[in-house]
Structure 1
Amino acid sequence: MEISRSKIDLHMHSSASDGTDSIAGLLAKVKAAGIECFALTDHDTIAGVLAMERLLAEQPVSSKSRIQFIRGVEFSCITSLGKCHILGYGYDYNDEVFQSVLAKGEALRREKLEKRLDFLQQEYGIEFAPQDVEAMRGMGSVGKPHLAELMVQMGVAESASEAIRKYINHCPTFDSRLPAGEAIKAIRNVGGVAVWAHPYGGAGEPALTEQELTSQLELLLSFGLQGLECHYSRYDLSQTGRLAEYAKKYKLCISGGSDYHGRKNFPELGQLNVEGASVDITKLSVPIHSGVLLQ
């Protein structure tokens, strides 16, 4: 399928969490893809954002002026109705309360790793080499893909997606996630925008029914949710349209992103729907900390 890249992509990951690209490598790919506005949204950490800002500050003015960077983060959250991911954009990361929520998110992610390691060993007899375990424990934001790729190397699974689906997803980690209300409040209190990532479900997750989506949405709205990720690489245009209607109904801003991780070229940077159709930058409306409004 031929992909028409969008010039905006507000959801991508680097090696600071579970992406494969370094910060410098990711920026080079963003430039090569012709993306004019992007956000780095690593899981429960802003280490990559800080590194990207330092790198952008070193770029020539002529190059820097063509690309707009938005601070992002993706919190792994939970509500009484189930798991969800909350994206935060344009926040002031110097706030102590925000930093404490980030620290809590990182600690919970490390807790999930230990639970998964124990679960895989006890349930399936899968035991990782000590040096691999220590390497994962030393990462700032380790996730399912790190475990899955090791399992492929060990011959336990033929692909990372199989490892996640067949083994890792069966590990109960609901109590190792941030309460969604806490994440949304932390983002809003520092001038950021809180957006529900891939509301129908992300990669490797079961798709929500319309009733499940609306119930979760109403709960997140009660916490102060401000936006929906309507444009998403794994959603078709009909799903995008339905999400846009929800955004209109509840006066929410519209976001969109590929959820790029750098693995096997899917999704690609700038891919904001499964059809590979380009999304005009004016279709998104995410207000950010600097006061710039994309609409």
Structure 2
Amino acid sequence: MASTAPEKTPAARPWLTAEALAGQIDLHCHSSASDGILSPAALVSRAKSSGVTLLALTDHDTVAGIAEAREEADRQGLALMPGIELTARWGRRVVHIVGLNVDCEATALQSAIAVRDDLRQARAVQIAERLEKRGFSGAYEGASALANGAVIGRPHFARWMVDAGHVSDTAKAFKRYLGAGKIGDVIVPWPELAETLASIRASGGASVLAHPLKYGLTRTRLQALLTDFKRAGGDAVELVCGQQNPVQTREIQSLVARVDAASGVDGNVERPLLASLGSDFHQPDQSWRALGSVRLPAGVEPVWGLWRGQGTDR
């Protein structure tokens, strides 16, 4: 079975302070470096004003916003954890893996990002070609302008379609053209789950299965995903993601407990899957995933327990 221990550990963790851990924690959000609306600096400022004390910037398949976010976090007095959300493949399903406390310069992480950059660029070209054939002229140029140097994603196409007057909002863009089974749903051969977790581990980070309830899986299939995730070296599960019904949170806890029990945790054979949380913030007008709006339930072991006692105070 794959080890869950990070192979490389960054020397300093200035974000890991008692004050930061005692406050409001948000370990999943996006800036304009990927498909978010706010710049990394503006996002950090908004997090600070929302009461967040520890924030992880986890842009899709990039760490390009970390430096700007760190500079603003230092200015604001907010603890920032470097992170990323890597796209991966589990069978025929696309899943997202959050990497926390990663070394942004690590060769393994940079290689993983480069692979996904190429895949995303090829997908963007295909999406644009399909939209052009449906009469949406200028799709690639429009999405590229909105991406503003970031790798183009479907949300950029959705925003362009709104700006161009083709649809009234981004939800309709996905429902009609970009969502599953639509013309903009281009199949991408993303790196496999185990490979993705290995990249994060080799970069000194911890792997978190993001928003497990958003994959549309039956509970049996979700348990299978959790099992494979743990066997591949996964560290934690996003127990709470944005506004979430407490019943749903308990369902995830129950599935995680089953996976832990089946893998011998009760006999102290290996560490249980830990708990993470995040708003999955993308833009200010989405109240259901506002920065700082998430809380872990009592009695769970948080993912930051991996590094407790190993930080450096500012």
Q: Same fold (TM over 0.5)?
A: yes
Cα distance per residue 1:34-67 (max 9 Å; x no partner): 111111010000011122123334x2xxx52xx3
Per-residue deviation at 1:98? 1.9
CA distance, structure 1, for counterparts of residue 188 and residue 155 of structure 2: 20
Mark the CA change 1:50 to 1:282 in structure 2 (over 3 Å): closer, same or farther. farther
Is the CA contact 1:247–1:254 (under 8 Å) kept in the aligned structure 2? no
SS in 2 for 1:36: strand
* 1:242-253 correspondence to structure 2 within 5 Å: 242-249=251-258, 250=260, 251-253=272-274
Per-residue deviation at 1:293? 7.9
* 1:109-120 correspondence to structure 2 within 5 Å: 109-120=120-131
Question: What is the one-letter code of the residue matched to 2:91?
Answer: S
Alignment match, 1:84: 95
Per-residue deviation at 1:254? 0.5
* 1:121-200 correspondence to structure 2 within 5 Å: 121-122=132-133, 124-128=134-138, 131-135=141-145, 139-169=149-179, 170=182, 171-200=184-213
SS in 2 for 1:174: coil
Cα distance per residue 1:73-111 (max 9 Å; x no partner): 001111214110000001122221221111112222222
Alignment match, 1:225: 234
CA distance, structure 1, for counterparts of residue 147 and residue 41 of structure 2: 24
Is the CA contact 1:9–1:256 (under 8 Å) kept in the aligned structure 2? yes
- Which is further off, 92-101 or 7-16? 92-101
Is the CA contact 2:284–2:290 (under 8 Å) kept in the aligned structure 1? no
Mark the CA change 1:133 to 1:260 in structure 2 (over 3 Å): closer, same or farther. closer
Alignment match, 2:19: none
Cα distance per residue 1:196-250 (max 9 Å; x no partner): 100111xxxx622212211222222232111110101143111111212333442
Is the CA contact 1:13–1:260 (under 8 Å) kept in the aligned structure 2? yes
Is the CA contact 1:44–1:106 (under 8 Å) kept in the aligned structure 2? yes
Is the CA contact 1:23–1:48 (under 8 Å) kept in the aligned structure 2? yes
Alignment match, 2:9: none
CA distance, structure 2, for counterparts of residue 283 and residue 262 of structure 1: 29
CA distance, structure 1, for counterparts of residue 66 and residue 122 of structure 2: 23
* 1:206-217 correspondence to structure 2 within 5 Å: 207-217=216-226
CA distance, structure 2, for counterparts of residue 76 and residue 227 of structure 1: 16
RMSD, matched Cα: 2.5
CA distance, structure 2, for counterparts of residue 248 and residue 133 of structure 1: 43
Q: Report % sequence identity.
A: 27
SS in 1 for 2:61: coil
Which of 49, 62, 83 aligns to 1:32? It is: 49
Unaligned 5+ runs, structure 1: 1-5, 273-277
What is the TM-score normalised by the length of structure 2? Answer: 0.79
SS in 1 for 2:277: strand
Is the CA contact 2:208–2:234 (under 8 Å) kept in the aligned structure 1? yes
Unaligned 5+ runs, structure 2: 1-22, 261-271
Is the CA contact 1:76–1:85 (under 8 Å) kept in the aligned structure 2? yes
CA distance, structure 1, for counterparts of residue 108 and residue 281 of structure 2: 29
CA distance, structure 2, for counterparts of residue 142 and residue 253 of structure 1: 32
